[in-house]
Structure 1
Amino acid sequence: MVTVVVVINLLISLTLLCVAWQVWRLKGKIAFIGDRLLDYERCSHDLLYKAPENIYLGQQNLLNLRQSNQSLQIQIQQLRQIVSLLLLGQRSWKRYVGKKKPIKSINS
């Protein structure tokens, strides 16, 4: 009878030892995963820490580019108008100069 109790206690002890070993290994894996997640969080924080400021700067730069582009568009429009006027003047000049009357000779 005592032998049976000792054997049962040994089996229970071995089972609990295996369970404790598995829990200890699981604890190590969880600690490793936790450390890895903490590293990822630090990296993402470093990357995203200045994101709002960078977004604001990007918006400001975009606004400046739009304003610069707008003034350039006005200058391009003015240049096109000048070129159109020059072409109109050239065509008018060709019509005026092209219709010269022939010179009559005095001896005729």
Structure 2
Amino acid sequence: MVMVVVALNFLIALCCLFAAWRIWRLRQFLAKVTATLMAAERYTHALLYGAPEAITSGQMGIYQLRRSYQQLQPQLQRLQQILGLVSLGQRVWLRRSRFLSSRRSPYLRR
């Protein structure tokens, strides 16, 4: 009977030793994961530390660019109108010159 109790105690001790060894290995694994996550957090923090200022600066740049574009829009429309008139004048001039050249005497043509 004493042998059975000693054997059971020995088995229980082995199970507890195995569980302690597994817990110790889990602790090592969790320590490595924690170190990796901490390094990733430090890297991400260093990388994104200036992001709010950069975003604000970019937004201000876009705002100023939109204002400049709105100021240039009427000038662009005027320029397009002028170019349209020049194009129309060229077409009228070409038609006029063709019309006049077709009305000339065949002897005066070159």
Helix, strand or coil for the counterpart of 1:36?
Answer: helix
The residue type equivalent to 1:6 in the other structure is V
* Alpha-carbon shift at residue 27 of structure 1 (Å): 0.5
Partner in structure 1 of residue 32 of structure 2: 32
Tell me the distance in 2 between the aligned counterparts of 1:73 and 1:31.
61
Whether 1:72 and 2:105 are equivalent positions in the alignment is no
1:52-104 Cα distance to aligned partner (Å, 9 max, x none):
1111011011012112222332221121233345456667888xx9xxxxxxx
Identity score, percent: 48
Q: 1:92 to 1:16 in 2, by over 3 A?
A: closer
- Higher deviation after alignment, 84-93 or 48-57: 84-93
TM-score when scaled to structure 1? Answer: 0.71
Tell me the distance in 2 between the aligned counterparts of 1:33 and 1:42.
14
Q: Distance in 1 between matches of 2:4 and 2:80?
A: 108
- Describe the shift of the 1:13–1:90 C-alpha distance in structure 2 as closer, same or farther (beyond 3 A): closer
Assess, with a 3 A threshold, how the Cα gap between structure 1 residues 92 and 15 changes in structure 2: closer, same or farther. closer
Matches within 5 A, 1:25-104: 25-86=25-86
- CA offset digits 1:19-50 (Å, max 9, x no partner): 10110011111111111111221122122222
Please report the RMSD computed on the Cα atoms of aligned residues, expressed in angstroms.
Answer: 2.8
Partner of residue 20, structure 1: 20
Please list every run of 5 or more consecutive structure 1 residues that lacks an aligned counterpart in the other structure. 98-108
Q: Which has the higher contact order (CA 8 A, sep 6+)?
A: 2
Count of matched residue pairs = 100
Q: Against the structure 1 CA distance between its residues 76 and 3, is the aligned structure 2 distance closer, same or farther, given a 3 Å change threshold?
A: same
